[in-house]
Amino acid sequence: MNTTTPLVIVTGACGGIGAAVTQHLLTEGYAVLACDTQEQILSNTQHPTEKCEYYPLDVTDETCVQHLGDYLRQRRQPVQGLINCAGIVHAAPLLETTLEQWRTVHAVNADGVFLVTREVAQYMIEQQPQDPTNSRGIVTISSNAANVPRAEFGAYGASKAAATRVTTSFGLQLAPHGIRANVLCPGTTRTPMVTDSWNGEDRSQTPIKGSLENYRLGIPLGRIAEPEDIAEVATFLLSPRAKHVTMQSLTVDGGATF
């Protein structure tokens, strides 16, 4: 990888939105350090390019995340920013959710955002303590479930709400260093996290129509999102084009929540 090209770290880079974000960043000319679990990295070759390198990362392991920081310091490549895409879903009513399930979904969706953002931000400050152009950015992929109650996504929504708040709080602390931090909240998106539960069928009409029984609105724009839809917005928020945008949470769900 060319170590002079601005580098973006992407967690969950082998997943649906993470993979789309990685591809879009490469198209925009960034170099990408694509971070994900070792097993997925070994089997994933969808971004073979001199500007993309895979790095095995468990976002829930503080020591592993600290090693990422050490690796960045060894590279000395200018870091443009971070996009937190790593996430897991848990679909069950809270009354049927175990403490272990609660902790697992929070470990990835909330703790992971805190650990990786803290590590990468510290290195970005070391590289450039102040940036009057505000060109560097951090983006967390949260969820519209962080904004509204969900009948069967209580633990998931709570974990994403925590990810949202910790990111915007980082934004307040990082603003004097010229580093922006924003949140993107997708709705239902055509990723394996969603489609794996469809058992090979196209059930996209279910979220489009909504469910009065579950107090869930439909999608006014009449379609679920594609990963590329989210990647476009994430790349914009990361880029210097959004240099006066920080500590914001942008919902991208076709109007499903308002």
Catalytic residues: 156
Q: Contact at 8 Å (CB) between 168 and 247?
A: yes
Say how far apart CA 181 and CA 174 lie, in whole Å: 8
Tell me if 144 sits within 8 A of 185, measured CB to CB: yes
**How far is residue 137's CA from residue 92's CA, in Å, rounded to a whole number?**
34
**H or E segment to which residue 35 belongs:** strand 31-36
The tokens for 85 are 């895409």
Structure tokens at 28: 């925009």
> 7 pairs with which residues across the strands?
31, 79
3-state class (DSSP) for residue 145: helix
